[in-house]
Amino acid sequence: MSEPDYWSELNWTNGWDDQLPSVVAVSERSDESGSRKIINGTSRRRARSRSESDLVVAVADRGAYDTAFLDPNSDMFRRIATYLSANAAARTLAPPQGERTRMVRAQDKIDELSLKPALSANDILVLKTNLTTLREDPSYIKPAYVALYTQHGVPRTKKSPPKSGKVIITKIRVIRHPALWAQYDAARDRIRDDIAATKDEIHKFNHEMAEAGVPVYIPLPKALTTGGKVSGRSAVTFTTKSKVGLTEDSREKLPVLNRKIGEVLLMHGTLPDVIKIIADKGFNPDYNQGTTTGNITKYGALGQGTYFGDSFAKVQTYTGCPICNALKCDCVDQDDQPVDRMLILARCLLGIPTKARTHDSHRTENTATIKDGKHSVIGQERGIFKSWTLFGSNEFMLKQADQMYPEFIVYWHRA
Ligand SMILES: [Zn+2]
């Protein structure tokens, strides 16, 4: 079993070291500047239901895995930070105006704060940020909130959603999980064999057709290309258009690690607590439960599975502030630095992908369904789509847990 070479050079500790701000919370402390401070992770946990907090603590604190931080001066850190920063700078994106999940989350935060007998200076800033979020769609402003807008001097005029922006990568945590890695390593062999078998079959078929003089030829499937054009069936072009800061070497290694089996590094943005669960248990495609109406269950645009992206701009639109939930805010940590958010940069085996148009009806396909000889689903989006200022961004979906490994947890904030 071949573990990545650089792992041998890292200083590992078991599980998730809670000295580090993985779960952050608003402290009750206020200061003259009125800025929000993180002291520790306790108050957020207390706010959770008992069973949920037990789960998070149980899986996250003693793990079957080790973690280590990359030295910020190391070549690996520099390559990842350079790639991600250039990716974020290459395009800007705004989430859909008045997006329901974000509006409801802002309402929940306002409701939660409304129950408090007294608000600290920090609470007031969180409140104001969330009142501002609802301005994207004033129909979410409940009658009870009107007084709060007046009281805190927040206008109620319509406002656009915040755009993604440049980022600063502060820390990169590596996950060493021997059991998950062994599974992943075996999946590489499985996919390699599978691709070889598919190619053999097609090759044999083409040969027979040629022998029989039938003018039929099926091109051999390819995994990935990183160039400017799609070549071969089922090949995909990555959308990292910016070459700024990307050396030839890093372009080769990030995000494509092994072209033949479609091994790539892809981004996955989710909540900090979920990231800890993924570090311990791996990705779980069944976690995507979908929405059931009658006896039909619908999932995301590509069906049931775990979704990844290759656009940091898009990932930013999923990643709320751990303190106030907003996509853009001024929250700071104890060193007066902007609060870090997290994303997973995961190793994924796309193998031979099947392409799906997002408007096709793949929504009812579950993890048990994937085309013969295919290993992943890719949705390529182009042009301006609804309210998204989107110029090319790929979505990737995997249905088998062994094809994904949560290798890097990247800590970042907006520049
Ligand atoms: Zn915030």
What does the DSSP assignment read for 274-287?
Answer: HHHHHHHH---GGG
- Domain for residue 316, yes or no? yes
Higher-scoring residue by pLDDT: 48, 93: 93
Q: Which tens digit of pLDDT belongs to each residue from 359-405?
A: 556 777 776 777 777 888 887 655 444 333 334 567 889 989 999 99
**Pairwise CA distance, residues 301 & 365, whole Å:** 10
pLDDT digit string, tens, across residues 12-58: 998 887 554 433 333 333 333 333 333 333 333 333 333 444 444 44
For residues 1 and 299, what is the distance between their CA atoms, to the nearest angstrom?
35
**What is the 129 CA–ligand 1 centroid distance (Å)?**
8
Please give the distance, rounded to the nearest whole angstrom, from the Cα atom of residue 125 to the centre of ligand 1. 9
How many angstroms does the Cα of residue 134 sit away from the middle of ligand 1? Answer: 15
Task: Return all residues near 24 (Cβ < 8 A) that are at least 6 apart.
Answer: 38, 41, 44, 272, 322, 323, 333, 339
Q: Give pLDDT, residue 248.
A: 41
On whether residue 317 sits in a domain, the answer given is yes
pLDDT at 239 over 80: no
Residue 234 in any domain: the answer is yes
Please state the pTM of the whole predicted model: 0.77
Tally of structural domains, the chain: 1
Cα(first)–Cα(last) distance of the chain, in Å? 40
Answer whether residue 218 shows pLDDT above 90: no
Evaluate whether residue 42 is within a structural domain.
Answer: no
Q: How far is the CA of 338 from the centre of ligand 1 (A)?
A: 9
**pLDDT for residue 242 is more than 80:** no
Confidence class of residue 224 from pLDDT cuts 50, 70 and 90? low
Q: Which helix (H) or strand (E) holds 315?
A: helix 312-316
Lowest mean pLDDT among 8-12, 21-25, 151-155: 21-25
- Domain of 274, CATH number, reads 3.90.228.10
Range 308-337 average pLDDT? 83
Tokens at 370, concatenated: 């994937």
| DSSP for residue 139 | G
pLDDT score at 94 = 85
pLDDT at 285 (0 to 100): 83
So what's the pLDDT on residue 291?
Answer: 72
User: What mean pLDDT comes out for the span 277-281?
Assistant: 90
Q: Who has greater pLDDT, 20 or 166?
A: 166
pLDDT of residue 45: 31
pLDDT band at 69 (very low <50, low <70, confident <90, very high): very high
Helix axes 272-281, 50-61, angle to 10 degrees: 50
pLDDT at 294 > cutoff 80: no
Decide if 46 is inside a domain: no
Q: Ligand 1: distance of its center to the CA of 26 in Å?
A: 10
Q: Is 250 among the domain residues? A: yes
Q: Residue 236's pLDDT is what?
A: 52
CA of 236 to the centre of ligand 1 (A): 36
Q: Is residue 304 assigned to a domain? A: yes
Give distance in angstroms: CA of 332 to centre of ligand 1: 8
Q: What b/e sequence results for 167-198 when a residue is b if at least 16 CB atoms lie within 10 Å of its CB, and e otherwise? A: bbbebbbbbbbeebbebbeebbebbeebbeeb
| Ligand 1 center from residue 119 Cα (angstroms) | 16
Q: What is the dihedral of CA 333, 339, 340, 341, to 10 degrees?
A: 140
Lowest mean pLDDT, pick from 186-190, 228-232, 357-361? 228-232
Residue 159 has pLDDT above 80, yes or no: yes
Burial of 8 (0-12, 13-18, 19+ CB in 10 A): exposed
In a domain, 295, yes or no: yes
Compute, in angstroms, the gap from residue 321 CA to the centroid of ligand 1: 5
pLDDT of 201 > 70? The answer is: yes
- Centre of ligand 1 to C-alpha 126, Å, is 7
Residue 333 CA to ligand 1 center (angstroms) comes to 10
Bigger pLDDT: 315 vs 29: 315
- Does residue 219 or residue 154 have the better pLDDT? 154
Domain of 386, in residue numbers: 5-16+66-91+167-189+222-414
